[in-house]
Structure 1
């Protein structure tokens, strides 16, 4: 007998990721399916972790995070966004952004509450909403413009809406929501007295488009929890250091759950991230500029391979439509791609409740070294040979 909770958690995405990685290994394919860099972060950040271990920071740190990191996160929000969270009770350090999302949803959502999610969506949203007993109300982004439809968004809200999840820059599409779109979300959240969970882990990885935190809009600090990630900021995704910032009552709700999810986060890595955030904009700018160049390289290669591409405005990802190649089932196409072209990618349909809306769309990751992407483009050229 199937488990109804497991079915609601959309395990299909996890299965596809594992399958694509296995196929990439089996066929010696270049794996552009999963979003992790193939180079380490800045040397001074790595050295800071080694220094913290040598300095004896190897036991349990405070549950909410070491003071130095909470202060560095608060300073980051003030420096970049003119937001000034109190490090003592408006900042929570978590074991990655995924745990921050889980702690926030489990802390805010009770069984039967509705949660508005814009999709395609990062797969952990559906899983944790199911764990909380919440009900998802989804709003689609349609390729290629990916604009947020005001009527469809408004229709997703009701008197049972508890939380709306905003992810900008957006995974998997690479979209950055416009100020008008964010204002629309904010207005609906205020009118329905809903909280906002704003996933901004890619905030420093935008390409010529400004990132606007929804918490900076009028009346929104009081009802917004914002998610950040050192893994995305500094290309150390395996460290799993994330955080939440927001008003004290919402942070307390997430902290109550965090205490029983992971209790705390690796002490030496917290010290290293605190130092990294104090380095200023240089490493962040360098990573963004490098990613923009690699994005352009991959977009050109995908177009040469016959795919319709919507250039990404941010994140590690770009999506492409393979319909021009006769593809009407991107899942099956991606399953064949490692053998046929020596490249692995992920169908966008695994991020959606309604796979028909994205049947021919494919997500590619460009957070790889330029020579790796160049070779991937050469391999993809066989699609039009």
Structure 2
């Protein structure tokens, strides 16, 4: 009997396959199509022939753990213990799966804020837990009255994705304070903070769970080098958590992957000595601003984009079709692929919204925008 009977081919695969069939510009899947930093490539080429191809320690390459600790101290003024509070994972998705399957038991409830990234619910279901999906407000900000009303004695965890995929919104200080007020009443609830877009933020600063003194002792934070360094195919992420939580997660991790691929860990560890994460944000802000400027005279309505490399648009002025059908027509008739937002909701809430990925070359964005402005 299947543990995931309702899981079918992901919308990302469907849209990318359709885009390939029709030769469309693919702004659906969330990965860059521009070259990696030449410095990272040079490091990779040089170390490839070195003796770095055997297992690293289970928790991660010590040098990389040290570099993460230094970056966390620099960015968030949080001191983390490299021996007991950091774990290198095979991408943030594996880290999220590990965290959920370590702490969620049969019948436990996990609060997930919709629209939500598609890996959360399957991870909860495999653990035997019950996903409790709670819709964000229409502007994709959190609705704390709604969140609090769903909490029961069975609630074990809440998943917070900030900066948010697919909406591109960022939590404010007031949002964190509201969550802290709620969770003070429920000491049994753990927080899983999915912060994979932490270094892709714009005018509003990213507030990390790393900085929340009230919540740090009960929070697991997932980060992604794939997103931050535009090497999604390397599948290297990491978790930060207090020692008592990390101790338990390492038990699951060691039998899930044991250790993450060594080459990427060595290359990233050296690259972290030269990369400037503030430059990452600047680069993506330029792309966001370019894409928004190119679409300003189109019939698409642009939603706020505080962070991530996704731009959500409303197409009400163009069509009243459901978003899945409209997204398919966008590919087959207009040559641009996007992701319909309804697929990120449990109940397929359809507000006529699409998600475009702007982690693309300027030439790709210009060509896509020309087609979109012609609709």
Same fold (TM over 0.5): yes
Q: Given the two structures, how large is their TM-score scaled by the length of structure 2? A: 0.96
The aligned residue for residue 5 of structure 1 is: 3
The aligned residue for residue 264 of structure 2 is: 269
2:241 to 246, 249, 266: 246
Partner SS, residue 270 of structure 1: helix
Partner SS, residue 166 of structure 2: coil
The aligned residue for residue 298 of structure 2 is: 305
1:105-184 equivalences in 2 (<5 Å): 105-143=100-138, 145-184=139-178
Question: Mean alpha-carbon deviation: is it higher for 332-341 or for 212-221?
Answer: 212-221
Question: Mean alpha-carbon deviation: is it higher for 367-376 or for 156-165?
Answer: 156-165
1:98-109 equivalences in 2 (<5 Å): 98-109=93-104
Offset from partner CA, 1:97-156 (integer Å, 9 cap, x none): 10110111111111111111111111000110111111112221233x222122101112
1:342 to 309, 318, 335: 335
The aligned residue for residue 320 of structure 1 is: 313
1:253-292 equivalences in 2 (<5 Å): 253-279=248-274, 281=276, 284-292=277-285
Q: What is the CA distance between 1:276 and its match in structure 2?
A: 2.3
Q: Distance in 1 between matches of 2:156 and 2:35?
A: 39
Tell me whether 1:90 sits opposite 2:124 in the alignment: no
Offset from partner CA, 1:339-365 (integer Å, 9 cap, x none): 211100010111110213x34111110
Q: Distance in 1 between matches of 2:320 and 2:5?
A: 27
Gaps of 5+ in 2: none
The aligned residue for residue 362 of structure 2 is: 370
Question: Mean alpha-carbon deviation: is it higher for 51-60 or for 65-74?
Answer: 51-60
Runs of 4+ off more than 6 Å: none
The aligned residue for residue 360 of structure 1 is: 352
The aligned residue for residue 43 of structure 1 is: 38
Contact 1:48 1:271 in 2 (8 A): no
Q: Distance in 1 between matches of 2:292 and 2:135?
A: 24
Partner SS, residue 197 of structure 1: strand
Partner SS, residue 317 of structure 2: helix
Contact 1:189 1:196 in 2 (8 A): no
Q: Distance in 1 between matches of 2:352 and 2:295?
A: 14
Q: Distance in 1 between matches of 2:333 and 2:234?
A: 34
Q: Distance in 1 between matches of 2:147 and 2:22?
A: 42
Q: Distance in 2 between matches of 1:123 and 1:364?
A: 17
Contact 1:183 1:217 in 2 (8 A): no
Q: What is the CA distance between 1:45 and its match in structure 2?
A: 1.8
Q: Distance in 1 between matches of 2:358 and 2:18?
A: 19
The aligned residue for residue 72 of structure 1 is: 67
Question: Mean alpha-carbon deviation: is it higher for 292-301 or for 35-44?
Answer: 292-301
Q: Distance in 1 between matches of 2:3 and 2:291?
A: 38
The aligned residue for residue 189 of structure 1 is: 183
Offset from partner CA, 1:56-112 (integer Å, 9 cap, x none): 100111111010011111111111001111000100000001011011111111111
Q: What is the CA distance between 1:242 and its match in structure 2?
A: 0.3
The two structures, once aligned, show a CA RMSD in angstroms of 1.5
Contact 2:323 2:352 in 1 (8 A): yes
The aligned residue for residue 380 of structure 1 is: 372
Q: Distance in 2 between matches of 1:147 and 1:41?
A: 33
Q: Distance in 1 between matches of 2:72 and 2:184?
A: 23
Gaps of 5+ in 1: none
Question: Mean alpha-carbon deviation: is it higher for 108-117 or for 36-45?
Answer: 36-45
Q: Given the two structures, how large is their TM-score scaled by the length of structure 1? A: 0.93
Question: Mean alpha-carbon deviation: is it higher for 53-62 or for 186-195?
Answer: 186-195
How many residues are aligned here? 374
Question: Mean alpha-carbon deviation: is it higher for 84-93 or for 48-57?
Answer: 48-57
Q: What is the CA distance between 1:264 and its match in structure 2?
A: 1.0
Q: What is the CA distance between 1:4 and its match in structure 2?
A: 5.9
Q: Distance in 2 between matches of 1:208 and 1:31?
A: 27
Q: What is the CA distance between 1:331 and its match in structure 2?
A: 0.2
